[in-house]
Each structure stands twice: as C-alpha cells, then as structure tokens.
Amino acid sequence: MTRRLLRLVPPGTLPVGAGLALVGLASYVHLALAGHNLAAADYSALSVLWSVVFTLGIGVFFPVEQEVARLVAARRSRGLPPGPVLARGAAIAAVLLGLLLLLTVAVADTLADRLFDGDHAMVATLAGAVAALAVAHTTRGVLSGLRNFRWYGTQLGLDGGLRIGLVAALALAGVDSPVAYALVLVVAPLIAVALTAVPVARAAGGGPAVPARPLLRGLALLTASSLLAQVVVNVGVINVRLLSPSDVATAGALLSALVLVRVPLFAFGSMQAALLPGLSTAAATGDDLAFGALLRRSLAVVTALGATGGVLAVLSGPWLVRALFDTPDVLGRDDFAWLSLATLAYLWAMVLGQGLLARDRHLAQALAWTAGVAALTATTLAPLPVALRVELGYTAGSLVAAAVMVPLLRRHHRAATASPRPVAVGVPATTPGGFR
C-alpha cells in the first residue's frame, strides 16, 4: 500500500513533505502560543502581519524560486553548472526586495495606522520577514532545480523547528509583545538558510553569467499569478481589518480557522516542489501521456486531501480554534464549510496552474487568477456580514480561477496534438520550478 501511494506522488515528495509538516506544525504552535499570550488586539495585529508577509513574500519570491528551479533543472539536464542561474536569480530577488522595501518605507505611516494600531515596529518587522523569505526562496530554487530534495526538506524542517523553539521560549518567558512573536518570522528562516548553505555554495560559480532575459521573460507574469493567488488565499484577514477595524475578534479567529482548513495546502506543498519539474520534463519531451497522467494523479491526491480535511474541519473546527488558539467563539460550522470548499477549489487551481506553467502558459495562468481575484472582489463587496463576505470571496475566487484554467489546458492539448513539438523545460526560447 505504501509503495502504491509513493507511485502516485512525484519523486522528492517525502523529504519535502517532512520539512513542510514541521513548518505546518510550527504555524500552529506559533499562532496557538501567541493566541494564549497576546491580547485580542495584539493577536489581530499579528494575524494581519502574518497575512501580509506571506502574501508579499510568497507572491513575489516564490516565482523567483520556480524560475530558478526550472532553469537550473534545464542546465543540469545538459550538464551545465547552475551557478550562473543562482547569481542571476539572486540579483533579481535583490532588486525586487529593494523595491518592496522602498514601498514599505514610503507607506510606513499608513501601514502602521491602518493595520497595526500605529505600531511602527510591526512595519519594520514586516520588512524583515519579507527579506528573509526572499533569501529562503532563492536558495530553495537552486536546491529544487538540482533535485536535492533532502537539503530542501532540511531547510524547511530547520525553519519550522526554530520557529517552534523560539516561540516556546517567548511563551515560557511570559512575553506579551506582538513584535517579539512577529520577529520569529525573520530569525528562523535566515538561520535555516545559513545552516543549509553548503550545497547552495557548491553550486555557486562555474561558468559565464546567464542573460537576464530567460529569467525575466516568464517572471513578470509568474509574479503576477503568484501575487494574485496569494491575494485569493490570504486577503480575507486583511479585508476583515479594513472593512471592520473594530472587529479584532473576527480577524484573529479567521486566521486561526484558515490555518486549520489549509492543512491540505501544506501536504500539497510537499508535492509542488517536485510536481513542476516532473510536468516540465514531460512537456519538454512532448510526452503528453505522462503529462496528463501526472496531472490527473495530482488532482486525485489533492481532492482526497481537501475533502478529508474539509470534513474534519467542519466537524471539529469551531472547537479546535477555541481550544488551540484561544479565539473568541465567533465562527461556526457553516464558516468552516465555506472555508473548506474554498481550500479544495484552491488546491485544484494550484495543480492546474502548475500544468499551465509547465506548458509555458504564463499568460493563461495570470488571466485565470485575475478572473479569480475579480470574483473575490465582487463577492467581498456584497452586502453581507463581514465574515461571510470574506469566506464567500475566498470560495468564489478559487472556484473561478480553477474553472478558467481547465479549458486553457485543454486548448493547449488540442493544439499540441495537432502540431506536436517539444516544449522547453523552463524559460521559453531557450530551455526549461514551489504557502503556505
């Protein structure tokens, strides 16, 4: 039975999954201990910071990881050194980070007043956490492209383990500052990168610099897709704060509920780092049968994960968020039902999006997520209770994005069947990459 399950998932899933499992556990421990040690208003501020960090950090820098991974994998298949891709990817990540930091400084007062009750230290911590994710995702791109999933999983595991240890130390010391709990998101990933730097350092150097165009060509659309996808999955907590600033209970409770219902996303993350290289390889060799089989197996796995997680969340979610995170009793089973359905649809969209990306359909993926965000926006503006608005927004955004992707993938399949040709693994025109 175990061997049969292993054949259903891409190679590398298990080591990455082990690391992601620890990261997922760290998220629960982090928020649970913060919920028990922070006042409601402070926990709400931490919840908003958490959502902004992962919307920006993953939205902007996960595409860098994917493109670096795709180019490194392509160079590896041709016997070329990965160092030039690492150098170029690091330079692009540094530029993107610089732009984000400049924007953060420019709107620091607005961020502090609207999101963090005037606390500028939270804004500084937000900037530091985004910088840490920039470093982490760039190095993971190299590890993924080299198919060095043992080190990839190790970095994730160290990040998660450090978060658990640091937050536990804060709780034992009786610390009740939201800034202290937020700083864990800065310190843990940076130490994890430092402790897994050996294989990345070995990949450095070795050959002339690669041009920026192969990375930049798909990166703009991929970044747009990634940001839009993160908006769909994370903006609900921020919207609660913006739509009803005085309702600190709902913002904190919603983040806690989202962490529970999105357990399947952590499981999918263990597949994702290996799924894209597998799909890209099948696309590069023109093997449509292998491409379709891997895509269907992945959809079947995430459907089972999402449905199982959803049932458990509906049955026990309201009790768990109170017991684990000490949140007010403001969400019921119907709230968890909507959030679970949204997460299942989001999983479908993530898998289908990987298929589009492997086929070099960056624009198609961006259009699908744009449609999803449009649906989310329209639903969020409906005259309904705030919590229901954001839950339905998450659901509508995910369902619409997935629905738009299906015909786009089928259209490409028909075109490829009519005129078959190898698809480059990675960036088009030259050669052919991972929540929350």
d(CA 435, CA 80): 31
Q: From the CB of residue 166, how many other CB atoms can be counted at a distance below 10 Å?
A: 20
| 8 A C-beta contact, residue 387 and residue 250 | yes
Q: Which residues contact 208 (CB under 8 A, 6 or more apart)?
A: 84
Answer yes or no: is pLDDT of 317 > 80: yes
Q: What span, in angstroms and rounded, lies between the C-alpha atoms of 212 and 245? A: 43
What per-residue confidence (pLDDT) applies to 28? 83
Q: How far apart are CA 56 and CA 235, in angstroms?
A: 11
pLDDT of residue 127: 94
Q: Per-residue pLDDT for 166 more than 80?
A: yes
> Whole-angstrom Cα distance, residue 224 to residue 233?
14
Q: What are the start-end ranges of the E strands in 176-275?
A: none
Decide: 74 and 426 in contact? Cβ < 8 Å: yes
pTM of the model: 0.74
pLDDT digits 0-9 by tens, 370-406 = 999 999 999 998 888 888 888 999 999 999 999 999 9
Contact residues for 410 (Cβ-Cβ < 8 A; gap 6+)? none
Q: Is residue 423 part of a domain?
A: no
Q: Tell me: the pLDDT tens digits for 226-284? A: 889 888 988 888 888 778 777 777 877 887 888 888 878 776 766 765 677 778 778 87
Q: How many domains does the chain have?
A: 1
Question: For residue 429, what are the contacts with CB-CB under 8 A and spacing of at least 6?
Answer: 214, 217
User: Looking at the domain assignment, is residue 24 inside a domain?
Assistant: yes
What are the structure tokens assigned to 424, written together?
């480059």
Task: Note whether 209 and 180 are within 8 A (CB).
Answer: no
Q: Find the domain containing 292 and state its range.
A: 2-418
Yes or no: say if 395 and 345 are a contact pair by the CB < 8 Å rule: yes
Specify if 427 maps to a domain: no
- Whether 222 and 63 have beta carbons less than 8 Å apart is answered as yes
Contact present, 159 and 26 (Cβ < 8 Å) = yes
pLDDT tens across 71-97, in order?
777 777 677 777 777 778 888 889 999
Structure tokens at 341: 């359905």
User: Which pLDDT band, with edges at 50, 70 and 90, does 212 fall under?
Assistant: low
Sequence length of the chain is 436
The answer to whether residue 434 sits within a structural domain is no
User: Tens digit of pLDDT for each residue in 325-353?
Assistant: 877 788 889 999 999 999 999 999 999 98
Residue 1 is predicted with a pLDDT of 43
